[in-house]
Copies of this chain bind each other. A is one copy, B any other.
Amino acid sequence: MSMTQTTPRTDAVTGRQRILDAAAELFLTLGYAETSLRTIADSVGIRAASIYHHFENKDALLLEILEIGMAAVEAAFDDAAEQAPTDPALRLERHIAGHLEALFAHHAFTAAHVTVFPFAPPTVRTSAVAARDAYESRWTELLGEIAPHLDPDALRIARLALFGAMNSSVQWFDSSTSSTDDLAERIASTVAHGMLSTRGAS
Task: Name A's B-contacting residues (CB within 8 A).
Answer: 30-34, 88-89, 92, 115, 118-119, 143, 146-147, 149-151, 154, 157-158, 160-169, 171-173, 183, 186-187, 190-198, 201-202
Contact = CB atoms under 8 A, between A and B. Distances in A.
Nearest to A88: B196
Given A164-B168, A192-B195, 16 more contacts: A33-B34, A89-B196, A92-B196, A115-B119, A119-B119, A143-B195, A149-B198, A149-B201, A154-B186, A160-B169, A161-B187, A168-B168, A190-B191, A192-B194, A193-B193, A193-B197
B167 A186 contact: no
Contacts of A187: 157, 161
A88 to B, nearest CB: 6
A119 B161 contact: no
A30 B119 CA distance: 6
A193 B165 CA distance: 16
A165 B161 contact: yes
Contacts of A32: 31
Contacts of A34: 33, 119
Contact of A169 (B92, B143, B161): B161
Contact of A196 (B31, B162, B165, B193): B193
Nearest to A160: B172
- Residue with the greatest number of chain B CB neighbours at <10 A, chosen from A154, A161, A187, A196: A161
Contacts of A191: 190, 194-195
A149 to B, nearest CB: 5
